[in-house]
Amino acid sequence: MNNKKTGAILLSFFMLLGVIFLGYYFKVIHEQKKNVLPIVYAERNHHVAPFSFTNQDGKTITQNDVKGKIYVASYFFATCKGICPKMNENMSKVYTAFRGNKDVMILSHTVDPMKDSAPALKAYSLRFDADPNQWMFLTGDKKQLYDMARYSYLLSAEDDTAGVKIEDDFIHDKHYTLVDRYGRVRGFYDGLEQSDIDKLIKDINSLLQEKE
C-alpha cells in the first residue's frame, strides 16, 4: 500500500473519530441542558399557589420568602406520637446536608394549627436546632394549610392509608414534596424511608446545578 492510500485511510479514520466525538459531545451537552427531574403536571403548568403562614418566630412567611429557592414541603403536628418524630428526624438529615445554603429551604406545616401556635412550634423546632431562616415550622389558617397540601404540594388525602387521620377531611401524609426555584413540583419522597431521604438529597443537588 503506497503512502497516499495510507494517508487517506488514516485521514478518514481520524475524521470518523472526530464525528463520533462531536456527536457524543453534543449529546452530553444536550442532556445537561435537559431537566434531570420530571416536572410534575408540566402540561398543566402546575405551580405552587400563593400562601401566607406564620413561622416559629412569629414572622409572616409568603411565597416571596421562597422565591428563587429550592425547598422541601412537609406536614406534621407537634404532639404527634406516631410518624412525625421519625419524619422530622429524617428531615433533619436533609437540613444538615444543606445547612447554611441560602438556596435551599424546608417548610414544615402543621396540620393542627389550634394547638401548634408559633411558640409551640418554636419549642418543637429547637429539638432539631433549626435555623428559622432556613427550616421553617409553619402555622396559620387551617383551610389554607390543608388546601396547600392537596392542591399545591399534591399530597393525597385519599390514598395514603399509612398517614395519620387528624380530622374527617384530612389525612396527615408521610411524604415530602420537592419544589424547584420556579414553584414547580419535582418529586415526592417517603419521609420514613432512608433510601428516599438519600434520593431527596441527591435530587436537591441536581436542582442546584440545573439551569433552564
Same structural domain for residues 65 and 130?
yes
Using CA atoms of 131, 94, 141, 60 in order, give the dihedral in degrees to the nearest 10. Answer: 30
**Residue 60 main-chain phi, psi, to 5 deg:** -75, 130
Q: Provide long-range contacts, Cβ within 8 A and 24+ apart, for 158-162.
A: 162/83
User: What type of residue sits at position 59?
Assistant: K
Same structural domain for residues 22 and 71?
no
| Of 57-66, 112-121, 151-160, minimum mean pLDDT range | 151-160
Averaged pLDDT for residues 86-93: 96
Same structural domain for residues 96 and 23?
no
Same structural domain for residues 60 and 28?
no
CA distance 48 to 73: 11
Same structural domain for residues 98 and 7?
no
CA distance 136 to 56: 7
Same structural domain for residues 9 and 95?
no
Q: Express as a percent the part of the chain with pLDDT over 90.
A: 65
Same structural domain for residues 19 and 52?
no
pTM over 0.75: yes
Q: Domain range spanning residue 190? A: 42-209
Same structural domain for residues 60 and 3?
no
* Whether residue 169 has pLDDT greater than 50: no
**Rg (alpha carbons) of the chain, rounded to whole number:** 23
- Neighbouring residues of 207: CB distance < 8 A, sequence distance ≥ 6: 36, 37, 70, 178, 180, 181, 186
* Whether residue 149 has pLDDT greater than 90: yes
Domain count of the fold of the chain: 2
Same structural domain for residues 74 and 153?
yes
Maximum Cα interatomic distance, the chain, rounded to a whole number of Å: 91
